[in-house]
Amino acid sequence: MDLPRLFHRIVLLALSILIVSAALVPASAQSGARQKAPWMNAALSPDERAALVLKEMTIDEKVSMLHGTGLKGLGPVSPLAVGSNGGAGYVVGIPRLGIPAIQMSDAAYGVRQSGENGRYSTALPADLAAAASWDLDAAYEYGALIGRELRAQGYNMSLGGGVNLTREPRDGRTFEYLGEDPILAGRMVGSLIRGTQAQHVIGDIKHYAVNDQESGRNAVNANIDKRSMRESDLLAFEIGVREGNPAAVMCAYNRVNGDYACENKYLLTDVLKKDWNFKGFVVSDWEATHSTVKASAAGLDQEEPGEIFFGGAMKDAVQSGRVPIAEVDDHVRRILRSMFACGVIDDPPLKSVVDVVGGFEVARNIAEHSIVLLRNEQAQLPLDASRIHSIAVIGPHSDVGMISGAGSAQVDPPGGNAIMPPGKGQTKWGKPVWFPTSPLKAIRAKAPGAKVQFDPGTDHSSAAALAKTADVAIVFAYQWEIEGADLDNLSLPEHQDELIAAVAAANPHTIVVLETGSPVTMPWASQVNGILEAWYAGTQGAEAVANVIFGEVNPSAKLPITFPRSEADLPHRTVVHPPRESTTNGEPDDWKKIAAGLPAFQTTYDEQLKVGYKWYDAEKKDVLFPFGYGLSYSTYSYSNLRVITGGTPGGKVRLNFTVTNTSNRTGVEIAEVYAALPAVAAEPPKRLVGWSKIKLNPAESKEVAVEVDPQYLSIFDVDRNAWQLVPGDYMFLVGGSSQSLPLKESVSLK
């Protein structure tokens, strides 16, 4: 080792000993110091408190807050990382000022633990599943559970909150997002973040923005016009930021209109910080920072996971005048004020035991609100356990588990992957993880008097032979997704389409339960009696599915995403894949190439405003199951629409209408409100503008009121950089799905 490097090592080691020993100062002494400091006065605002701390900070302390300490496998790891709790990100604290470290963990559908500390977390249904509940309270509970479990594991920052709109359903992270509508997704993520931050944990919303494919995500340049971006992809973030007030926004890997998202001034400063008045900090996705001066000026506040650009290089840039100290102060102020605002300084997390039973309850409850009944011919469902003698449960691993979504969202299952041999419990990146929630056992428990037999479906003729002997055949089919790769297509893998067709041919009472993170095509749809979309249903998925199958739960969820008839109907023939030189192919020095910036390749969202159902509507393409669709064991009727435009607070449009339960079963209906804008607005045929979830007893009618924010009726005027309500006639449509809208009324708006 040469002398300067040796010297550098010694300095780093000394520094880490200093910081670690400072961190080990007895809590009483630290809290004494904290109590005396003027910024510990909780009566002051987060901004005042941050300003007081900032005044005391040295340049080294400031820079230390602008980056993480590295992560194994992703660039160099600093000796300071020794203080990390084992999560994806760790930013050192400043003990002399009473500022704690930031301990970040991935937490998309539960707290990720990749085996480091082996602690338990609850796996909720995937985010997309939660979106199918259209339930803001459930989203809050979802976020709150994550916040509680983060704290219990010693974390004070969540890396969840994915809200990229699904422009491309083959995107390998579709399960981590909230569907294809900006208002539904934005409102749901806002509620989720509020739930998390109420637990005194820093919340985050990601991946900002237009990170709509995983293929070549570090290189791809997403081309999209500003109006489309503001009215779709960015609107989801805008609503999420407004309603959830997240302390952090994570910028994405990809380029947007030429610039990397993490050094994109339009996205980070012009839109996020100025137009939306975002007060928190922008954290880069892991290795998504590509510069010091440009990124800092564009509005990036913190580099993760290491310090390639925002560590020593930032200090040098300040000292040589390339980055003004005022810019660094703004970054630090944003981080500090967020820490005060979220309560992580006044109320730091204390490790404790996770409430496992409580977590089961929340996970099952959300799954029951998320499972979408797509088809129910001859009222096949619910099954009456007292009248069924035999059931065939068929499909890969449906004897032991249900599949989950993978990547940084992956939550470790209790006791390990259900399909691994005992003793090999740990999850591995790239290997599907099945949660130990057994459909076979759950069905047996519901139908103790029936003969319930299992076939894995590997041999289609043996599966069909079993199906033939049973009163009912239930096939569990899956499609697996992982971050970093897109789906090749929307077909079920492993010949499951053929399996289902073979079973359906053998048994006219076939029910298919889908465990998918994206829509799938269903060439067999008309041959089966029942279809349930269970998504990635989480740790209590099988129990929730069984409760729906046997009618203890009356399904109420609606699709947050369109299921097309065929892939040929999607806006793009395939996901654009990178040419070879734009990829890094997993070589050990990847991080250097990624940091330096890989050659761009292009994807162009020329469908523009026509995202999801707006595309199929505008292009007049028939779909398999439309956005907003979902059956129930009850039936509902709609009547008596009135649209009130004057005298409402905030210029909102109010709709009143009646929903009636026309069945003899108590149920919950999600009533949806769409608007068709005046023709001069040049918009897709209609957009979702509101909804209401209503519980109705048999034959009960309820008057429903939905208020529509004027922004939801507006278009984005790029020249004026403002939302504009186009004067003219607006048609309001109300009903139970985007394609079943029995009530209509047109009003003129100025």
177 touches ligand BGC (CB under 6 A): no
Cα separation of 641 and 187, whole Å? 24
Full DSSP string of 363-394: HHHHHHHH-EEEEEGGG--S--GGG--EEEEE
The distance of closest approach from Cβ of residue 406 to ligand BGC in the complex, given in angstroms and rounded to an integer, is 12
The distance of closest approach from Cβ of residue 304 to ligand BGC in the complex, given in angstroms and rounded to an integer, is 7
What does the block give as tokens for 534?
């269970």
The distance of closest approach from Cβ of residue 106 to ligand BGC in the complex, given in angstroms and rounded to an integer, is 5
Q: Which helix (H) or strand (E) holds 441?
A: helix 439-446
Residue position matching structure tokens 């109300």 = 734
Strands (DSSP E) found in 377-509: 390-394, 402-403, 434-435, 451-455, 472-478
The distance of closest approach from Cβ of residue 508 to ligand BGC in the complex, given in angstroms and rounded to an integer, is 45
The distance of closest approach from Cβ of residue 281 to ligand BGC in the complex, given in angstroms and rounded to an integer, is 15
Going 483 to 566 to 635 to 477, the CA torsion angle's sign is negative
Comparison of 88 and 553: residue with beta carbon closer to ligand BGC: 88
435 touches ligand BGC (CB under 6 A): no
Q: Which helix (H) or strand (E) holds 29?
A: helix 27-36
Letters for 357-396 (x = contact with ligand BGC by CB under 6 A, - = none) are ----------------------------------------
504 touches ligand BGC (CB under 6 A): no
215 touches ligand BGC (CB under 6 A): no
Which residues are CB-neighbours of 195 under 8 A, at least 6 positions away?
139, 140, 141, 142, 143, 144, 145, 146, 147
Comparison of 162 and 396: residue with beta carbon closer to ligand BGC: 162
Comparison of 408 and 634: residue with beta carbon closer to ligand BGC: 408
Neighbouring CB atoms inside 10 A of 568's CB total 8
481 touches ligand BGC (CB under 6 A): no
Going 435 to 305 to 289 to 162, the CA torsion angle's sign is positive
Measured over all CA atoms, what is the biggest interatomic distance in the chain, rounded to whole angstroms? 84
Phi, psi of 354 (to 5 degrees): -70, 140
- In this chain, which of 114, 408, 554, 608 binds ligand BGC, going by CB under 6 A? 408
With CB under 6 A, what is the number of residues at the site for ligand BGC? 7
202 touches ligand BGC (CB under 6 A): no
Comparison of 106 and 543: residue with beta carbon closer to ligand BGC: 106
The distance of closest approach from Cβ of residue 327 to ligand BGC in the complex, given in angstroms and rounded to an integer, is 25
Percentage helix, strand, coil for the chain under 3-state DSSP, each rounded to 5: 35, 20, 45
The distance of closest approach from Cβ of residue 312 to ligand BGC in the complex, given in angstroms and rounded to an integer, is 23
The distance of closest approach from Cβ of residue 482 to ligand BGC in the complex, given in angstroms and rounded to an integer, is 11
Cα separation of 705 and 682, whole Å? 28
Comparison of 175 and 286: residue with beta carbon closer to ligand BGC: 286
314 touches ligand BGC (CB under 6 A): no
Comparison of 75 and 555: residue with beta carbon closer to ligand BGC: 75
Q: Which of residues 155-174 bind ligand BGC (CB under 6 A)?
A: 159
The distance of closest approach from Cβ of residue 352 to ligand BGC in the complex, given in angstroms and rounded to an integer, is 24
Comparison of 286 and 636: residue with beta carbon closer to ligand BGC: 286
- Give the Å distances, CA to CA, from 626 to 93, 376, 496, 520: 49, 16, 23, 13
Comparison of 88 and 391: residue with beta carbon closer to ligand BGC: 88
The distance of closest approach from Cβ of residue 206 to ligand BGC in the complex, given in angstroms and rounded to an integer, is 6
- Give the Å distances, CA to CA, from 63 to 17, 66, 75, 232, 292: 18, 5, 19, 35, 12
Comparison of 107 and 339: residue with beta carbon closer to ligand BGC: 107
Going 281 to 99 to 102 to 21, the CA torsion angle's sign is positive
Comparison of 160 and 690: residue with beta carbon closer to ligand BGC: 160
The distance of closest approach from Cβ of residue 131 to ligand BGC in the complex, given in angstroms and rounded to an integer, is 17
The distance of closest approach from Cβ of residue 442 to ligand BGC in the complex, given in angstroms and rounded to an integer, is 31
Comparison of 84 and 228: residue with beta carbon closer to ligand BGC: 84
Phi, psi of 702 (to 5 degrees): -135, 145
Do 109 and 537 form a contact (C-beta atoms < 8 A)? Answer: no
103 touches ligand BGC (CB under 6 A): no
The distance of closest approach from Cβ of residue 538 to ligand BGC in the complex, given in angstroms and rounded to an integer, is 19
88 touches ligand BGC (CB under 6 A): yes
Cα separation of 228 and 214, whole Å? 21
- Give the Å distances, CA to CA, from 267 to 163, 217, 295, 406: 15, 17, 12, 28
Comparison of 208 and 524: residue with beta carbon closer to ligand BGC: 208
Q: Is 258 left (phi over 0), alpha (psi -120 to 50) or beta?
A: left
What does the block give as tokens for 513?
């339960």
Comparison of 74 and 514: residue with beta carbon closer to ligand BGC: 74
Letters for 320-359 (x = contact with ligand BGC by CB under 6 A, - = none) are ----------------------------------------
Comparison of 159 and 362: residue with beta carbon closer to ligand BGC: 159
208 touches ligand BGC (CB under 6 A): no
- In this chain, which of 80, 91, 102, 106 binds ligand BGC, going by CB under 6 A? 106
The distance of closest approach from Cβ of residue 520 to ligand BGC in the complex, given in angstroms and rounded to an integer, is 24
206 touches ligand BGC (CB under 6 A): yes
The distance of closest approach from Cβ of residue 286 to ligand BGC in the complex, given in angstroms and rounded to an integer, is 4
The distance of closest approach from Cβ of residue 484 to ligand BGC in the complex, given in angstroms and rounded to an integer, is 7
Do 653 and 707 form a contact (C-beta atoms < 8 A)? Answer: yes
Q: Which of residues 603-662 bind ligand BGC (CB under 6 A)?
A: none
594 touches ligand BGC (CB under 6 A): no
Do 627 and 670 form a contact (C-beta atoms < 8 A)? Answer: no
Q: Is residue 207 reached through a cis peptide bond, with omega within 30 degrees of 0 on the bond before it?
A: yes
Full DSSP string of 149-189: HHHHTT--EE---B----S-TT-TTGGGS--S-HHHHHHHH
Which pairs from 526-531 meet CB under 8 Å and 24+ separation?
527/500, 527/501, 528/375, 528/500, 528/504, 529/375, 529/376, 529/377, 529/378, 529/380, 530/373, 530/375, 530/376, 530/377, 530/380, 530/381, 531/373, 531/374, 531/375
Comparison of 16 and 408: residue with beta carbon closer to ligand BGC: 408
Do 122 and 362 form a contact (C-beta atoms < 8 A)? Answer: yes
Letters for 275-294 (x = contact with ligand BGC by CB under 6 A, - = none) are ----------xx--------
What does the block give as tokens for 487?
């789906």
Cα separation of 302 and 298, whole Å? 12
Comparison of 159 and 576: residue with beta carbon closer to ligand BGC: 159
Chain residues binding ligand BGC by CB under 6 A are 88, 106, 159, 206, 285-286, 408
